[in-house]
Structure 1
């Protein structure tokens, strides 16, 4: 799969939306790493389970999915020698308890969602670990019963603390008159009395602190120091006992590290699965039939990012015809149609339900390649055409019978004639390789090619000529147009200009740009089945032009409008100025020099003169039908620069001026 094509088809955006529905860290990771698969069996299982999950939540089932709070940290610390805290162990116990709830819930759904429910069988019970934690820790504190030593130490602490308090209360009564307040305070974990500064020496002991004003000194009485030391020692014993409890619980958790890991993975997969189901509900996604024959048939399909604004798309390709040419006006939805085909294919192969109606079918491809958008790059100095061409080269490098190729706006960014020729050649090569192709274009030559070529089919985006609004509806089997004349008329362009534009367009289709110029003789546009004759002769002096190749489909269109010559005309000897067709080059040219003794003649093709044998050319149009009588053929064969030189030299000698002719030996 081509990552660049993923970007053009907005697959990363689909992954981003899917990830937003995941609640757990392993679920989000699975969503982020999701990529199209190529094993049709695995894909069918993934689609089926996603469909089951959607049905569960659509019926209102509230899946008790564990949150995995604190589990990412805990799983990372297991086996490192780190001793878990009370809070971390409580997260583990909560996770085990939630896994049990999920397992019981799924067991109750076996009848309606057998595939989804089956994953719960992998969840481990871990009751021993849960009981050990919950029997030792309650609301973040280790209970007395966690160990015999801890219970005994805490009993001693309570007794020592009570004895110390009684001693302090006695001192409080005795020294009440010299205290700032009649209360027992604490500093650094030790009990103190708040003595007025001027009476400091009347209370024996250690001054641990004083107030901000300096008027109060906090004194640890000497009479309580021994009891305080005893209590501190007991609290140290308590800490050691608590640490031993935590170490024991951590060791127990480490014995179940594998089972905990399996449970985390299972919960993560459930989270990922239900994230797919939730997104399917959001875009109204459904399961589709799959095949490995390249057949795509979408019914009522919608682009997932257009939501309710999308007009349902009905499209079929890959059956009896494997190449589909989509035509229609700009902003009419052609590109959206391509993106819908491509993105829905990638979604289905990723196990994601697609927004399409029942009866839809998609193929499994090993390669999905797209050239969509102009792709201009300022920093790489790539033009639109260069960018398209670079993409096409990459597509051709991997295209085969298990490839889906999506091409947007064929023949754009360069000379239309050459662009059309290159586009048709690329389409032919992709078809020869067996790839399934969907492409958009607004060039009539490519539309005609698709109409006539086996294995190709046209489709058009519907357009309302009254309101000048695209309908975003794909109509199969017919080629559309750009509606330029309709739009121009509606916007106020004069009817005389519209009429002239139609005439020019028709002339351009038949004979190239110079054919639209009044008085110019049209050059040969394509090889007729027999040589054309009775061509309309101009009464005006024609302007110099060049021959131009045309596709076979364009030839058929031109032949329908112009008369053909008889066999006698086709077999007569060639004369200078005759138009001939060169089958090996699939183009036409003008005879410049007649055949020599070996049968080689010189033909001018697109301003170049080539040598070719008479047997390799066919008479196309007789010169008398192209040029007026006594027409100066230098206009055709000579460059403007040479003709100017010749005219100047005919009047006088011009020093340093030479007329150079290109080589004529091909």
Structure 2
């Protein structure tokens, strides 16, 4: 098998759905590694496991997987010599408890599931280790009862802390210290007990400054009265850590001594989890264990694609006994590709030990390889066309097939000139037939249908189609050739009757209508649109459109002898031929009578200067004198 087959047939997608039924990481990990097998004994064993697991689930009892987690990383750390922490030990304890419960549960089901129940005999229980961990670790912390020495140390710790607390409270309640204390509480800094003292009085208190507040207004002092006790406390905590380490090392050693048996338990838990995930999926889809063979005979009776909704039309199909190659024809969107995918995915499912939705008469053959060419394999990166990519895939398949291969081809030979495509497809089918493969292919080519009808070991099949409603029926009929229904579809889309009639005639014979028609008899002369007279009566102030700029300007000067007008546009005067302008609005319609049109062509600064001079502005006069001097220079 290859990844292309898994991808095209949605095998990995199906595995992910079944994987979601796993409870533990061990089961999910095993499901990820699962691959289809072509060994009939292995497949029989896998299917039987699923069948027995379904029988167990049908007792309405719950498999006790609760608390069973993947402890693989913990085991790896142990083998590296790492001492386990309390939370790791709790996980190991939960795992051991889960193993013990599952073993008891499965041994109790040996009458209804003898094979998978027998696996439990290989599972080892470690109740003494489990109890030792539970006794020593409580709440992810080493319990004081774990050893006499630890209990003694912690009792001493508690006694010292009590004496320290008593002395510190006495210090806080002393009236002599009240004015020094910033706040009346005990603060723990770097595992040392301190009192917050006002910074101004830090030299009035006998003790050690441990810390200072961020603003510097408070210092945290360990009073001399508790300094000795704090040192004693530090020694006891060091002793506590050493004793805790000894306890963790002892418990880790107990587990390490039995690591081989624990690994076997992990494998069995993963196996049980995966098998029951298959069983849960089987119950959900009402699956069955089909019959098996390894000589290429496939018989599907009312089978359903596992990823399609429940109302999907079941498939009935057969190949490998009376014929070894099947050519499926029929309309687009009629379900031909779904048939290929159903055959392929059901085969992969059974080879993986999955039940399938089918009648009990269904029989599945096992194959060493399943090759598919489905969908558009066009590659932009490798500059391959659709046809080239299909040929590249099929050429690769030809190098790897044998007599134990199942081939599934969609639209074989398509994507090129029909005659060449059909001839090439027939030659490819013959080559695979001579190799001894089981081949199922879909096509629209009539030549391939005819070849299949003539060959004694080939069979045609058709997808049913309702010609009145244009609805595919998704039913496969063996022994019939399907039509593409192009004429039916065209008729329903209101194609002209004369077009359909001619098409039907061309299907029966190639006598095309080659009569030449004089176009002058059917083509109507176009009416010639007369050019309108060019407007020339432009006057100063008219608003015009400059055709070249697709924008507007104002006429400054009327048309000259060369038929040019002067237009004010973008604060500049420019000459334009009257053919390149069109009148928008006459000036007399834009401005009131007596309006000074010259003001339209002056910018704002010029008009302001003129206005300032008229009212006798000295600033305006100075500006003019400045401009004159500049000009002289």
Structure 1 length as normaliser, TM-score?
Answer: 0.73
Instruction: Give the 5 Å matches for 1:24-39.
Output: 24-39=24-39
- Given that residues 464 and 472 in structure 2 are in contact (C-alpha distance below 8 angstroms), is that contact kept between their aligned partners in structure 1? yes
Stretches of structure 2 that go unaligned for 5 or more consecutive residues are 516-633
- Given that residues 24 and 65 in structure 2 are in contact (C-alpha distance below 8 angstroms), is that contact kept between their aligned partners in structure 1? no
1:269 is aligned to 2:271: yes
Aligned equivalent of 1:244: 246
- Given that residues 25 and 72 in structure 1 are in contact (C-alpha distance below 8 angstroms), is that contact kept between their aligned partners in structure 2? no
CA distance in 2, matches of 1:476, 1:58: 38
CA distance in 2, matches of 1:227, 1:31: 59
In structure 2, relative to structure 1, the CA distance for the partners of 1:163 and 1:490 (3 Å cut) is closer
- Given that residues 283 and 307 in structure 1 are in contact (C-alpha distance below 8 angstroms), is that contact kept between their aligned partners in structure 2? no
RMSD: 2.1
Q: Deviations over 1:230-268 (max 9, x none)?
A: 121112111111111111111111111112211211111
Aligned length: 513
Aligned equivalent of 2:154: 154
**Residue among 462, 473, 476 paired with 1:460:** 462
CA distance in 2, matches of 1:419, 1:210: 88
Aligned equivalent of 1:52: 52
**Residue among 395, 399, 402 paired with 1:400:** 402
1:300 is aligned to 2:302: yes
Q: CA deviation at 1:309?
A: 4.4
Aligned equivalent of 1:566: none
**Residue among 481, 490, 504 paired with 1:488:** 490
CA distance in 2, matches of 1:516, 1:420: 23
Q: Deviations over 1:199-231 (max 9, x none)?
A: 433321112224445443322111221122112
Q: Deviations over 1:159-193 (max 9, x none)?
A: 33333333333333334523334433322212222
Aligned equivalent of 1:651: none
CA distance in 2, matches of 1:94, 1:143: 17
In structure 2, relative to structure 1, the CA distance for the partners of 1:393 and 1:213 (3 Å cut) is closer
Aligned equivalent of 2:170: 170
Q: CA deviation at 1:270?
A: 1.5
Aligned equivalent of 1:289: 291
- Given that residues 292 and 364 in structure 2 are in contact (C-alpha distance below 8 angstroms), is that contact kept between their aligned partners in structure 1? yes
Q: CA deviation at 1:305?
A: 1.8
- Given that residues 327 and 460 in structure 2 are in contact (C-alpha distance below 8 angstroms), is that contact kept between their aligned partners in structure 1? yes
SS of the residue corresponding to residue 303 of structure 1 reads coil
Q: CA deviation at 1:152?
A: 2.4
Aligned equivalent of 1:128: 128
Q: Deviations over 1:473-519 (max 9, x none)?
A: 111221111111111122212222222111111225xxxxxx54669
SS of the residue corresponding to residue 64 of structure 1 reads coil
Aligned equivalent of 1:140: 140
Q: Deviations over 1:267-306 (max 9, x none)?
A: 1111211222233334443211011221111011112221
- Given that residues 26 and 69 in structure 2 are in contact (C-alpha distance below 8 angstroms), is that contact kept between their aligned partners in structure 1? no
CA distance in 1, matches of 2:307, 2:434: 34
Q: CA deviation at 1:458?
A: 1.3
1:436 is aligned to 2:454: no
Q: Deviations over 1:285-331 (max 9, x none)?
A: 32110112211110111122212242111111111111111111111
Q: CA deviation at 1:348?
A: 0.9
Aligned equivalent of 1:342: 344
Q: CA deviation at 1:375?
A: 1.5
Report the structure number with the largest CA radius of gyration: 2
Stretches of structure 1 that go unaligned for 5 or more consecutive residues are 509-514, 520-666
CA distance in 2, matches of 1:372, 1:183: 77
CA distance in 1, matches of 2:508, 2:399: 38
CA distance in 2, matches of 1:21, 1:395: 35
CA distance in 2, matches of 1:185, 1:374: 72
- Given that residues 295 and 318 in structure 1 are in contact (C-alpha distance below 8 angstroms), is that contact kept between their aligned partners in structure 2? yes
1:311 is aligned to 2:313: yes
SS of the residue corresponding to residue 489 of structure 1 reads helix
Q: Deviations over 1:4-60 (max 9, x none)?
A: 233222222222323333333332222122211011011011011112223433553
- Given that residues 26 and 70 in structure 2 are in contact (C-alpha distance below 8 angstroms), is that contact kept between their aligned partners in structure 1? no
- Given that residues 23 and 67 in structure 1 are in contact (C-alpha distance below 8 angstroms), is that contact kept between their aligned partners in structure 2? no
Aligned equivalent of 2:10: 10
Aligned equivalent of 2:198: 196
In structure 2, relative to structure 1, the CA distance for the partners of 1:383 and 1:185 (3 Å cut) is closer
- Given that residues 387 and 415 in structure 2 are in contact (C-alpha distance below 8 angstroms), is that contact kept between their aligned partners in structure 1? yes
SS of the residue corresponding to residue 135 of structure 1 reads helix
Aligned equivalent of 2:326: 324
Structure 2 length as normaliser, TM-score?
Answer: 0.77
- Given that residues 286 and 356 in structure 1 are in contact (C-alpha distance below 8 angstroms), is that contact kept between their aligned partners in structure 2? yes
Q: Deviations over 1:374-428 (max 9, x none)?
A: 3211221222222222222222223332111111112312222222222222222
CA distance in 2, matches of 1:201, 1:4: 81
Q: CA deviation at 1:344?
A: 0.8
In structure 2, relative to structure 1, the CA distance for the partners of 1:315 and 1:211 (3 Å cut) is same
CA distance in 1, matches of 2:279, 2:173: 72
SS of the residue corresponding to residue 479 of structure 1 reads coil
SS of the residue corresponding to residue 287 of structure 1 reads coil
In structure 2, relative to structure 1, the CA distance for the partners of 1:70 and 1:271 (3 Å cut) is closer
**Residue among 445, 452, 461 paired with 1:450:** 452
Instruction: Give the 5 Å matches for 1:468-479.
Output: 468-479=470-481
**Residue among 200, 210, 219 paired with 1:217:** 219
- Given that residues 176 and 182 in structure 1 are in contact (C-alpha distance below 8 angstroms), is that contact kept between their aligned partners in structure 2? no
- Given that residues 409 and 442 in structure 1 are in contact (C-alpha distance below 8 angstroms), is that contact kept between their aligned partners in structure 2? yes
Instruction: Give the 5 Å matches for 1:355-366.
Output: 355-366=357-368
SS of the residue corresponding to residue 474 of structure 2 reads strand
Aligned equivalent of 1:22: 22
CA distance in 2, matches of 1:422, 1:468: 31
CA distance in 2, matches of 1:2, 1:155: 66
- Given that residues 25 and 70 in structure 2 are in contact (C-alpha distance below 8 angstroms), is that contact kept between their aligned partners in structure 1? no
SS of the residue corresponding to residue 244 of structure 1 reads helix
- Given that residues 67 and 94 in structure 2 are in contact (C-alpha distance below 8 angstroms), is that contact kept between their aligned partners in structure 1? no
SS of the residue corresponding to residue 178 of structure 2 reads helix
- Given that residues 70 and 88 in structure 1 are in contact (C-alpha distance below 8 angstroms), is that contact kept between their aligned partners in structure 2? no
CA distance in 2, matches of 1:352, 1:343: 11
- Given that residues 24 and 70 in structure 2 are in contact (C-alpha distance below 8 angstroms), is that contact kept between their aligned partners in structure 1? no
In structure 2, relative to structure 1, the CA distance for the partners of 1:477 and 1:140 (3 Å cut) is same
- Given that residues 27 and 270 in structure 1 are in contact (C-alpha distance below 8 angstroms), is that contact kept between their aligned partners in structure 2? yes
Aligned equivalent of 1:65: 65
Q: Deviations over 1:448-479 (max 9, x none)?
A: 22122111111110100110111111112211
In structure 2, relative to structure 1, the CA distance for the partners of 1:38 and 1:294 (3 Å cut) is same
CA distance in 2, matches of 1:180, 1:410: 90
SS of the residue corresponding to residue 308 of structure 1 reads coil
CA distance in 1, matches of 2:422, 2:230: 97
Instruction: Give the 5 Å matches for 1:428-577.
Output: 428-508=430-510, 516=512
